[in-house]
Structure 1
Amino acid sequence: TYKLCLLDQLIPSPYGPVILFFSPDARLGRSDVPAKLELLKRSLSTTLARFYPLAGNLKDELTIDCDDEGAYYAEARVDCSLSEFLAHPDLLLLCKFLPIDLVQKETYSGTRAANIQANIFECGGIAIGICITHKILDGAAFGTFLKGWSSAARGDEAVIPDFSAASLFPTEDLWLRETSAVAWGSSLKKGKPITRRFLFDASAIATLKAKAKGSDSKCPTGVESVSAFIWQRYMAAATERRNGIQRPSILTNLVNLRKRIEPPQSDCSLGNILWISSAKSSSNMDRSLRALVNEVKRSISRIDSHFVEQLRGANRSSRIMESLKEMSSAGATEDGADHLGISSWCKLGFNEVDFGWGKPVWVSSYGVSGPVFVNLMILADTREGDGIEAW
């Protein structure tokens, strides 16, 4: 069995789905598809031997049963060309490219840790739908797995994962799982969502950065600027819906801790090595873009090496409880608070994945229509790398 680390218990969602779309070879069309699929399966098998917990199944809230039975793998045919689909992608159809149903269940016990579906378009294009357990892979670790898989396919140097997270953040019971569930419960609401995709090109991001730039002359990042802008519009829409009555609002971000640990950890470290930052805007605060960017930056800057040391120290239980209480109490006021959660895929290498036939033309999340957590947003790099898609 593979034991989860303490911070793995923070994540309420069991899977993090990603879909990679690859164009066909214009000269070969569909003729090389069988060879590509065989390469995918062979290199996946090699990669799972190195990332061995992903060859197991979800046993319970604390462990992965490493039974070495491998990943669930399926193939599907798509009755259109890739270019037709990408011209006007139907976000609700994207779930069909995934190997499992992601509408939340009471338990995922017995489900494979890794689930892959190769979707073959009429033109020979391929979309690879990947659902790997979020219990042991955060976004950065997922990027490491994709890098390892694609490197194995190309015959390049092997990517060797680091499994030290359980020793960095050890756990013996489910206390954080139960405590974080209470904290998330005040913020994450289940409902019937509507999925939308917004594209911020390089020009739009430059405009947002210029508007958000503070007197310290330090320009915010694209992720900070887009996060603050969407938060601003989210609050404005919520206020309009309540006939002009403003409520407090919380913006949470998942923050990678690998470079905030002393000494810094490798990008190949597996696990959910992350924490949650909470930016807050009370009903009477300045809600200009510049003010919101500053609040986002402040909330993330608080998660520094000293904070991480507290998460690992002798009094980690009380420090963790205190941090989660801050998040939950902000949403437990008499009038409540609006919550928007952000997870960023930017700069994690998803767009650099190359199995030997080129990088993906699109990397996507998926649209859902069933009851799931709402008011959550994913930020992803555009193919060119200078824009951001917000889901």
Structure 2
Amino acid sequence: METTIISKENIKPSSPTPSHLKTFDLSALDQIVLSPYVPIIIYYPNINGDNSNQALQKSQVLKKSLSETLTKFYPLAGTIKNEDSIDCNDIGANYIVASVQCRLDEFLKQPDHQLIHGFLPFVPSFDKSSVGNQVTNVQLNIFECGGIAIGLCISHRIVDGASVYMFLKAWSNMARGVEEVEYPNFTTPSLFPAKGSWLRDIFKGLGRSLLKEGKCSTKRFVFGSDAIARLRARAKSNGVQRPSRVEVVSSLIWKCAMDATKEASGIQKPSSLSHFVNLRSKLKSTLSNNFMGNVIWISNAVSLPSDETPLHSLVNKVRESISKVDAEFVEKAQGDEGCFAMQKSLEEMGESTGGIDNYGFTSWCRMGFYEIDFGWGKPSWVTGIVGDGSPVFMNLVTLMDTKSGEGIEAWVNLDESEMEILKKNQELLSYASLDPSPLLNGEIVEIGALGAGIEQTTEQFVKENRFASKGLIFNA
């Protein structure tokens, strides 16, 4: 599959940023992120019978609406000034149009993870996020069939997953001419002001302990609604009250990843699970859902070699760690003295993560990415962070909704030797399907994991339903 760049340009805001807003100071939370960019790719089938030339015309709609949206999201039209701020210079978004010599349905039949980064403006890296580089980067990929994929890399210095969704919702509403307007709130730095670089320096030291060298392997484990119901019932039967989807899926992956590490290394080491927790619902402000920036903190659960690791015990550990990032902590973390509460939290985390196996989890579930409609229907698939082949990486798991909204796709990044073991773990495969075709839209896995026979079932389903999705015929 070959991707050819057709054009490159900068899309500037439709109105200039006022002079008093030309520098945007980052919050304390913005300054402690580890990843350079938040990547996301949204795939849209061709439901109107358009050819690739007609699909190219959609680019004009995207550019005009992007220009108008950037006026409201003005820091996203700027460049990285330094580690503390964004230069809101209206340089605009880097906008690339690319032609993909492949049909979208052919790619989705069995996606190659190493090809996914080709749909992004670039492979996310720290070099690309250095001083002077643009905050927002977009690539419109046009497939031979008229289907498209929109790839974004937005600097993690100023957005988290919820912020990316807010921007995409505003952009897509603008493209459709919807009267509903999203008004982003950029006052997060006043709630969590940065006081020097010392908090950032502490986190950098912690971050180095989370990075690994080797060769990253990325696999996608898909949990259907029935499988998640069975996991929740299993936890409830052992005393866990109202376990959530994210809690049980995270705990099962953690359990099986620990088993894989033990088998690969021959020893059982201490292990930690860190979850990135969205703080918006814990803030008192009525406008908290519209806060832009990194409004997240990190919870941390630890399992020692002497600990028993049945699922319900791990669920309780995960729940307890997340519960500590509560409204009381968030209130203490605000204002001029807030950095001290954050420092204490990071130092406690550093004590528990040094010299042990660390697994980071982030959940994009229930954010609504499958509702993003630019005027040609809702997406058939959404993908995020893929680290396949990277020589430096984190053990990172991104949880995303399936298209139905009831299942969960877990994108797991591990060292390839550990992944070889994990992908054969029978306990995990009794609940999750390994890399099923997105063309299924979760239909088969919603019945429950089918174990070793899933590959054959998937292949047969695709042959019989190549252009069908829930009864809808499309040409991509």
How high is the TM-score relative to the length of structure 2?
Answer: 0.78
Alignment partners' CA distance in 1, 2:372 and 2:183: 17
Aligned with 1:266 (options 274, 277, 288):
288
**For residue 340 of structure 2, what is the amino acid of its counterpart?**
S
Structure 1 gap ranges (5+): none
1:362 to 361, 368, 381: 381
| 1:203 positional shift | 1.7
Aligned to 1:221: 244
Amino acid across the alignment from 1:254: F
Distance 1:25 1:103, change over 3 A: same
Q: How many residues align?
A: 387
User: For the Cα contact (< 8 Å) 1:148–1:158, is it kept in 2?
Assistant: yes
Please tell me whether residue 210 in structure 1 is matched to residue 233 in structure 2. yes
Residue 304 (structure 1) shift:
0.7
Q: Corresponding residue for 1:345?
A: 364
Which residue of 2 is the match for residue 167 of structure 1?
190
Q: 1:36 Cα deviation (Å)?
A: 1.2
* Structure 1 SS opposite 2:203: helix
**Is this contact kept in 2: 1:61–1:174, CA < 8 A?**
no
1:220 is paired with a residue whose SS is coil
> Pick from 312, 317, 336: which aligns with 2:339?
317
Q: Is the 8 A contact 1:191 1:374 kept in 2?
A: no
Q: 1:95 aligned to 2:117?
A: yes
Equivalent position of 1:330 in the other structure: 352
**Which residue in 2 is equivalent to 1:133?**
155
User: What residue is the counterpart of 1:390 in the other structure?
Assistant: 410
Name the structure 2 match of 1:283.
305
What does residue 187 of structure 1 align with? 210
The answer to whether structure 1 residue 177 and structure 2 residue 164 are counterparts is: no
Q: CA deviation at 1:178?
A: 0.9
Name 1:381's counterpart in structure 2: 401
Task: Please give the root-mean-square deviation of Cα atoms over the aligned residues, in Å.
Answer: 1.6
Deviation string for 1:113-133 (max 9, x for gaps)? 000000000000000010011
Residue deviations 1:230-261 (CA, integer Å, cap 9, x gap): 00001111111232x22111000100111112
Aligned residue number for residue 238 of structure 1: 261
Q: Equivalent residue for 1:248?
A: 270
Maintained 8 Å contact 1:379/1:390: yes
Spell out, residue by residue over 1:153-195, the C-alpha distance to the aligned partner (whole angstroms, 9 max, x if none). Answer: 1111221100110111111422221111112222333442111
Q: Is contact 1:195-1:368 (8 Å) kept? A: yes
The answer on whether the counterparts of 2:96 and 2:138 sit within 8 Å (CA) in structure 1 is yes
DSSP-derived class of the 2:289 partner? coil
Given that 2:193 and 2:336 are in contact with CA atoms closer than 8 Å, whether structure 1 keeps it comes out as no
2:219 to 189, 196, 209: 196
The separation in 2 between residues aligned to 1:282 and 1:316, in whole angstroms, is 31
Say if 1:91 and 1:76 are closer, same or farther in 2 by CA, change over 3 A. Answer: same
Contact kept in structure 1, 2:365 and 2:401, CA below 8 Å: yes
Change (3 A) 1:227 1:168: same
1:194 aligns to what SS in structure 2? Answer: strand
After superposing the two structures, state which structure 1 stretch, 42-51 or 317-326, moved more. Answer: 317-326
Distance 2:277 2:97 in 1: 34
Answer whether contact 1:104 1:371 (CA < 8 A) is retained.
no
- Check conservation: 1:62, 1:173, Cα contact below 8 A: no
Shift of 1:214: 5.5
Q: Distance in 1 between matches of 2:94 and 2:391?
A: 25
Could you tell me the TM-score, scaled by structure 1's length?
Answer: 0.95
Structure 2: distance between partners of 1:285 and 1:30: 57
Q: Which runs of 5+ in 2 are unaligned?
A: 1-22, 412-476
Q: Which deviates more, 170-179 or 357-366?
A: 170-179
- Shift of the 253–217 alpha-carbon distance from structure 1 to 2, 3 Å rule, reads closer
